Amino acid sequence: MKVLGIETSCDETGVAVYDTDAGLRAHALYSQIALHAEYGGVVPELASRDHVRKLLPLIRQTLAEAGLATGDLDGVAYTAGPGLVGALLVGAGVARALAWALEVPAIGVHHMEGHLLAPLLENDPQGRPEPPFVALLVSGGHTQLVHVEAIGRYRLLGETLDDAAGEAFDKTAKLMGLPYPGGPQLAALAERSDKLPGHPGAFRFSRPMTDRPGLDFSFSGLKTQVLLAWRNSDQSDETRADIARGFEDAVVETLAIKCGRALDAAGCGTLVVAGGVGANKRLRVRLEEMARERGGRVSFPRPEFCTDNGAMIAFAGALRLQAGQHDDASVRVAPRWDMAALQPVQSAEA
Ligand code: ATP
Ligand code: MG
Ligand code: FE
C-alpha cells in the first residue's frame, strides 16, 4: 500500500510517500524559518499562506522522486491536529480533495502520534521496537512521557507543567541573544564548549522536579536561572557557550532521570524518543547510556525525522489505513487533540 503523507501543522511543509512493502519511497520538506525569522516566532496567517504556495509543488516533487503517479497512490494521510488551525486546514483540504479525486481513503493523523511512531519508520537491522514501550516526546510544543501499550493505545505518564523542552531551548537561546529559532544553535554552542577543557560544569543549573517522585516536568525556572547567570556574567562568547552547556546538561540529565523512572513505572525495557529535541546529540548519548545500564534499549528516528516531516505522517497514516481505518470525506481538523482519545490500531489480520 502506497500512502502519501502531508504535514502542515506549523511552519514546515512536509510530504512523503510510505510504501508498506518497500518502506519510505521519497520525502521532501520545506521549512518556513526564513519567513518567520524577522518576527521572532511563527506568524499563523503567514504560515497558512506559505503552505498554500508550497504544498502542491512539493507533492509533485515527492511523487517524481518516488517514480510514482498520483494514480499509484492507495491512500492519503494528513496531519489533522494538534497545530495551527489555518495551517492544518491547508493540508487537510488538499489531502481530502486529492483522495476524493483519486477515489482512495484518507485519514487525519495526530501530529504527536506521527512523532511517536517516527522511530519505527526505519527498518533497521535490529528490527522495530514493539509495544509495550515508553515514549519520550520532546518537541517544540510538548514534553510527555507516554506508556505505549499498543500502537494507538497511549497512556500519559507525565508531562511538562509549563514550557516544553524545545520551547525552553528556544527561549533560553533568545535571552542570550541567539537568532531565531535558537534551540539547535544553543545545542551547537553547548557542543563547542566540549573543546575547551574544564568548561562543562562552569555553570551548573538545577534538575527541576527530580528531587521528588513523579513524572512531570517543569522547564520555565531553568530559563530564569540562565537569565540571571547571563546577566551577571561578562557575556562573552566563551561564557555563552559555557552557559549553553550548563543548560543542556540540566535538561538532558532531567530527561534521563525521568525516563528511567518512567520505564520502572511502566515495567518496560524499551524507550522510544521522538520530537525535535530528540535530535540533540548529548541527549541521544545519555539516553543510550541509561538504557545500556538498565539492560534495555532506546530507539530514535534519524535526526531529520525528529523535527516535523511528512514521512512520520505517511507512516502513521499507513498503519491505520492498512488496518482498515479512514475518515469520512469532510475536511475536519483539531487544533487541540488528546492522544489518549485515539483508537487503537488493530492489524487487519488480528
Ligand atoms: P509540536 O510537535 O509539539 O507541535 P514542533 O512541531 O514545533 O512542536 P518539533 O518540530 O518536533 O516541534 O521540534 C522543534 C523543536 O526542537 C524546537 O523547539 C527546537 O529548538 C528543538 N530542537 C531541534 N533540534 C534541537 C537540538 N539539536 N537540540 C535541542 N533542541 C532542538
Ligand atoms: Mg517547526
Ligand atoms: Fe512537531
- The whole-number pLDDT of residue 350 equals 46
The more confidently predicted of residues 348 and 69 is: 69
Taking the CA of residue 283 as reference, the ligand 1 atom at the shortest distance is 28
Note the pLDDT tens digit of each residue in 198-210: 577 899 999 999 9
Q: Whole-number mean pLDDT of the chain?
A: 95
Percent helix, strand and coil across the chain, each rounded to 5? 45, 20, 35
Whole-angstrom CA distances from 257 to 10, 73, 162, 249, 260 are 30, 44, 18, 12, 5
Q: What percent of the chain has pLDDT over 90?
A: 93
Is residue 134's pLDDT more than 90?
yes
- The whole-number pLDDT of residue 197 equals 57
Q: How many angstroms is it from 116 CA to the middle of ligand 3?
A: 10
Q: How many angstroms is it from 139 CA to the middle of ligand 3?
A: 6
- Check: CB of residue 112 under 8 Å from CB of residue 41: no
Q: How many angstroms is it from 307 CA to the middle of ligand 3?
A: 6
- The whole-number pLDDT of residue 256 equals 98
Q: What percent of the chain has pLDDT over 70?
A: 97
How far the first Cα of the chain sits from its last, in Å, is 18
The residue whose CB lies within 8 Å of the most ligand 1 atoms, and thus the one to mutate among 84, 116, 306, 337, is 306
Note the pLDDT tens digit of each residue in 136-189: 999 999 999 999 999 999 999 999 999 999 999 999 999 999 998 899 999 999
Any idea what the Cα angle at residue 28 is, between residues 142 and 172, rounded to 5°? Answer: 35
* Cβ of 307 below 6 Å from ligand 1: yes
d(CA 42, CA 28): 21
The interface predicted TM-score (ipTM) is 0.99
The closest ligand to the CA of 313 turns out to be 3
Taking the CA of residue 279 as reference, the ligand 1 atom at the shortest distance is 27
Lookup result for grid cell 525528529: 306
The closest ligand to the CA of 11 turns out to be 2
Nearest CA to ligand 1 atom 8: 140
Q: Does domain 2-117+305-341 have CATH number 3.30.420.40?
A: yes
d(CA 233, CA 313): 44
* Cβ of 81 below 6 Å from ligand 1: no
* Range in 110-114, 161-165, 199-203, 346-350 the model is least confident about: 346-350
Nearest CA to ligand 1 atom 12: 140
Q: How many angstroms is it from 309 CA to the middle of ligand 3?
A: 8
Mean pLDDT of 33-60: 97
**2-117+305-341 matches 130-300 in fold:** yes
CATH of domain 130-300: 3.30.420.40
**166-171 long-range Cβ contacts below 8 angstroms, 24+ apart:** 166/138, 166/139, 166/140, 166/141, 166/275, 166/276, 166/277, 167/140, 167/141, 167/219, 168/219, 168/220, 168/222, 168/223, 168/251, 169/251, 169/277, 170/140, 171/223
pLDDT-derived band at 127 (thresholds 50, 70, 90) equals confident
Note the pLDDT tens digit of each residue in 4-33: 999 999 999 999 999 999 999 999 999 999
- The whole-number pLDDT of residue 198 equals 52
Is residue 87's pLDDT more than 60?
yes
What's the pTM value of the predicted model, to 2 decimals? 0.96
Where are the extended beta strands (E) located within 279-330? 297-299
Is residue 126's pLDDT more than 70?
no
The closest ligand to the CA of 301 turns out to be 1
The domain spans of the chain are 2-117+305-341, 130-300
Mean pLDDT of 72-81: 98
The residue whose CB lies within 8 Å of the most ligand 1 atoms, and thus the one to mutate among 169, 176, 333, is 169
- The whole-number pLDDT of residue 199 equals 75
Nearest CA to ligand 1 atom 5: 140
Nearest CA to ligand 1 atom 2: 139
pLDDT-derived band at 340 (thresholds 50, 70, 90) equals very high
Q: What is the DSSP string of 18-33?
A: EETTTEEEEEEEEE-H
Q: Cell digits for 130?
A: 514493539
The residue whose CB lies within 8 Å of the most ligand 1 atoms, and thus the one to mutate among 8, 287, 308, is 308
pLDDT-derived band at 196 (thresholds 50, 70, 90) equals low
Whole-angstrom CA distances from 45 to 82, 87, 319 are 16, 8, 32
Nearest CA to ligand 1 atom 29: 277
How far from chain centre, in Å, is Cα 171?
Answer: 18
Compute and round to an integer the Cα radius of gyration of the chain.
Answer: 20
Annotation: binding site for substrate: 137-141, 170, 183, 280
